[in-house]
Amino acid sequence: MKTSIFRNILWLLPLLVVQLSVNAQDAAKDAKAPQDTKNEKKTSSQKKKKTVVPGPKYAIDLDAGYAYPINTQLSSVFTGGLDASLGFKMAFLKKKLWIRPEGGYQFYTKRADLGESVQEVNQAWKAGVEFEYKAYEVKKFSFFPLVRADYNWFSNQFSKQISGETTNSQIIPTGENLLTANTYSISAGIMIVRSGFVYVKLDYEYFKPTLTVNPKLVNAMLAQGYTMADKQTMDLSTANIKIGFNLNFKH
Amino acid sequence: MKKTYFLLIAAAVAFGCGKKDKFMYGQVATQPIMNPDLKSILKDNVILNSVLDSSGVIHGLTDKNAFSTSDQFQSFNHSGYSISNALTPYTYDKNTVIVATGTVLTPIVHYSQDYGFTWDSIAPVLTPAVNSGGYYETDLSVYYINKQNFAMVYVLKSATNIHKKLIYKVNIATKQGTLVNSWQDFYIPMSVKFTNDTIAYMLIYRSSVNGTYISKTTNGGSLWSAPLYFDTKNLSVMQVADKGNLCVYEPNSYATYSTDSGAHWRQSAYSSNFNTLQMVSPSLSFALTNNGLVKSSDTGKTWNAVQGTGVDFNSMKHIYFNTDQKGLIYTDQQMYMTSDGGATWKTLLYPYPYIISN
């Protein structure tokens, strides 16, 4: 269990590194600030110009967080998962509307007892587009309602046995996909941006694929005296909370 | 910001957890192939005999239960019975089952006329009684004659090889056994088959001579024809079809056919030996070999392999075809059914874990 927790924490480290580097850059800017007071008058006109000239119209977003299964079909198997995405976004309508083509990854894992312990893994690679609209702004915070549509490449499998076959793993194929689906999902939520750099994203993703069952599994179940459907629709919808960073391009 | 990280770390701990015994594939709809209630006729049971009647009803008998089903075991009837220490093999003829227990000289004959669902047990009163004095061994067999009578055949074996045979005809209602015939010679009956009240065939062998003989009666057993030697091998299983068609074979060997009530015989063989054979009609026979199911449509002259899927023929012990299309194949705890002459087989009974587990 300890190793599992440590492994799961590891994916947070890159985010911490990014955050630390940003903090360092901010500190450096603050240190330079007194030198600029001499040219305060000179830059006052430029400041005025900055308020007029729009900021960057392009940015790269990177976010990661927790996916909470909504439906019992998923929540009865996995408590939670990782949800991450990377997108390149463009501003429209005076930077009110942002369109973000993106790629994502959703990942669930847990230890599974198949006679011998193995890992059961759900993963979905995603490609889609997100629409973010700046609806409200208060102090340092901006609120962006968002909608997203993704195409998903979903798979479920058990990790391959290393120390030999077990009774149950002879029945259940390991190391290959048991359930697969390639289909769409849609999401809706809100993004709260702080100071234009760090943001928190909350969204609900509706994902109800019709999964194709591995014929080997169907045959294995048949050998055990059960007929198993070769297709099954499951509700794999999730509520996601993610923290993210955007890297603005200089205008 | 620290609070956010704390929340994310907590989420990461939750990520990677889940019930170890719940799996995604477990959410896929599954359905048991077989009715779990079949445990009552499969667990600790061995299928002894099963037939498929013309209306599609399967009747069968295990060593503990009789069963029947009209919908291929989606639902079924069964009734337990207890017959222990059988003295004779179970004898089947249509819906009749006969078996004897007790001792050879004072047997109890158990008799069912509904495939084993209900049984009557009688202690036949044999007149005259069997006197086994002077013989080193006494064997008893029971055979179906008709709904009112069955036959008891005694073989009293002598060290001189001149064995005594006694045939009693027992009336079920009166429990009286009347001696029909008694004689002594070198021959020992292997099997007797009554085709009606008067005609019967007796498969016999002679202990000092390799080979098989056949004898026939046309008056209910009081007079038998002289044994006719027809094969050099000892063959033990006899089947009788209409119009004097006979088939005799030995498991793991070949068969031999007669179309004239045993007057003339013709050997019938396949590239693999016959493990079990069923003469469905005078022309049609099916047999299980080590290489699968084979079929003959010309009274055993030629045999053709039936390429079937859905069953491991090598592990099967019995076949029962009702027509050239519909039939059963079964062994101790397995049964399969075909409706296309053996090309495909549907599993009817199988000792799946959920069937035979406690």
pLDDT, tens digit, 9 for 90 and up, residues B126-159: 999 999 999 999 999 999 999 999 999 999 999 9
pLDDT tier at A160 (50, 70, 90 boundaries)?
A: confident
Residue A31: pLDDT above 50?
A: no
pLDDT tier at B15 (50, 70, 90 boundaries)?
A: low
What is the CA B60 to chain-centroid distance, rounded? 10
Share of chain B above pLDDT 90, in %: 86
The strand pairing partners of A182, in sequence order, are A153
How far apart are alpha carbons A75 and B251 in whole angstroms? 59
Give ∠ CA B326-B329-B333 in degrees, rounded to 5: 140
Residue A53: pLDDT above 60?
A: no
Given the DSSP bridges, would you call strands B58-62 and A238-248 parallel, antiparallel or unpaired? Answer: unpaired
Predicted local distance difference test score (pLDDT) of residue A38: 43
Task: Show which of residues 42-101 on chain A sit within 8 Å of chain B, judged by CB atoms.
Answer: 65-67, 73-74, 76-82
The residues near B218 (Cβ < 8 Å, ≥ 6 apart) are B198, B199
Strand arrangement, sheet containing B255-258: B237-240, B246-249, B255-258, B266-268
How far apart are alpha carbons B140 and B86 in whole angstroms? 11
How confident is the model over B294-342, as pLDDT tens digits? 999 999 999 999 998 889 999 999 999 999 999 999 999 999 999 999 9
CB contact under 8 A, A234 and B27: yes
How confident is the model over B169-209, as pLDDT tens digits? 999 999 999 999 999 999 999 999 999 999 999 999 987 88
Q: Is A236 on the interface with B (CB under 8 A)?
A: no
Q: Is A171 on the interface with B (CB under 8 A)?
A: no
Predicted local distance difference test score (pLDDT) of residue A113: 82
How far apart are alpha carbons B195 and B214 in whole angstroms? 15
Task: State which residue of chain B sits closest to A111, comparing Cα positions.
Answer: B20
The token duo for B284 is 């049609």
Residue with tokens 């080193």: B136
| ipTM confidence score | 0.74
Q: Best mutation site among A9, A122, A168, A210 for testing chain B: the one with the most B CBs within 10 Å? A: A9
Predicted local distance difference test score (pLDDT) of residue A67: 95
Closest residue to A110, CB basis, from B7, B13, B17 = B17
Task: Show which of residues 187-226 on chain A sit within 8 Å of chain B, judged by CB atoms.
Answer: 198, 200, 211, 213, 217, 221-222, 224-226
Closest to A125 measured CA to CA, from A99, A107, A101: A107
How far apart are alpha carbons B143 and B153 in whole angstroms? 8
The strand pairing partners of B247, in sequence order, are B239, B257
Residue B121: pLDDT above 80?
A: yes
Task: State which residue of chain B sits closest to A158, comparing Cα positions.
Answer: B23
Tell which phi-psi region holds residue A200, choosing left (phi > 0), alpha (psi between -120 and 50) or beta: beta
The residues near B288 (Cβ < 8 Å, ≥ 6 apart) are B274, B275, B276, B277, B294, B313, B316, B317, B319, B329
Tell which phi-psi region holds residue B211, choosing left (phi > 0), alpha (psi between -120 and 50) or beta: left
Share of chain A above pLDDT 90, in %: 56
Q: Is A241 on the interface with B (CB under 8 A)?
A: yes
> Is the Cα torsion angle B253, B254, B259, B263 positive or negative in sign?
negative
More confident residue, A68 or A3: A68
pLDDT tier at B3 (50, 70, 90 boundaries)?
A: low
More confident residue, A112 or B327: B327
CA distance A160 to chain B (A): 15
Cβ A74 vs Cβ A83: under 8 Å? no
More confident residue, B11 or A22: B11
The token duo for B311 is 């069953």
- For residue B9, how many C-alpha atoms fall within 13 Å in the half-sphere facing its CB? 9
Least confident of A47-56, A242-251, B4-13: A47-56
Cβ A133 vs Cβ A97: under 8 Å? yes
Predicted local distance difference test score (pLDDT) of residue A18: 41
The residues near A131 (Cβ < 8 Å, ≥ 6 apart) are A97, A98, A99, A100, A146, A147, A148
Predicted local distance difference test score (pLDDT) of residue A170: 55
CA distance A56 to chain B (A): 25
CB contact under 8 A, A12 and B354: no
More confident residue, A198 or B18: A198
Residue A52: pLDDT above 60?
A: no
How confident is the model over A194-250, as pLDDT tens digits? 877 899 999 999 999 999 999 999 999 988 899 999 999 999 999 999 999 988 765
Residue B4: pLDDT above 70?
A: no
CA distance B36 to chain A (A): 10
Least confident of A41-55, A182-196, B240-254, B344-358: A41-55
The residues near B173 (Cβ < 8 Å, ≥ 6 apart) are B148
Predicted local distance difference test score (pLDDT) of residue B17: 78
Closest residue to A77, CB basis, from B22, B29, B30 = B22
Closest residue to B11, CB basis, from A66, A122, A198 = A66
Closest residue to B31, CB basis, from A65, A226, A241 = A226
Longest dimension (CA), chain B: 110
- Global pTM reads 0.74
How confident is the model over B218-237, as pLDDT tens digits? 999 999 999 999 999 999 99
User: Which residues of chain A does B29 touch, with a Cβ-Cβ cutoff of 8 Å?
Assistant: 228-229, 232
Query: What mean pLDDT is predicted for residues B91-105?
Result: 94
Residue B86: pLDDT above 50?
A: yes
DSSP state of A219: H
Predicted local distance difference test score (pLDDT) of residue B14: 61
Q: What value does the mean pLDDT of chain A take?
A: 80
Residue with tokens 């098989």: B212
> How many residue contacts between A and B have a Cβ separation below 8 Å?
122
DSSP readout, B87-125? SS--EEETTEEEEEEE-SSSEEEEEESSTTSS-EEE--E
Residue B358: pLDDT above 60?
A: yes
Q: Best mutation site among B3, B6, B28, B333 for testing chain A: the one with the most A CBs within 10 Å? A: B28
Predicted local distance difference test score (pLDDT) of residue B48: 97
CB contact under 8 A, B354 and A225: yes
How far apart are alpha carbons B293 and B288 in whole angstroms? 5
Task: State which residue of chain A sits closest to B4, comparing Cα positions.
Answer: A243
Predicted local distance difference test score (pLDDT) of residue A23: 46
Closest to B308 measured CA to CA, from B345, B346, B343, B347: B343
Q: Is A243 on the interface with B (CB under 8 A)?
A: yes
Share of chain B above pLDDT 70, in %: 95
pLDDT tier at B77 (50, 70, 90 boundaries)?
A: very high
Cβ A226 vs Cβ B33: under 8 Å? yes
The strand pairing partners of A238, in sequence order, are A69, A205
Residue with tokens 């599954």: B30
Task: State which residue of chain A sits closest to B28, comparing Cα positions.
Answer: A232
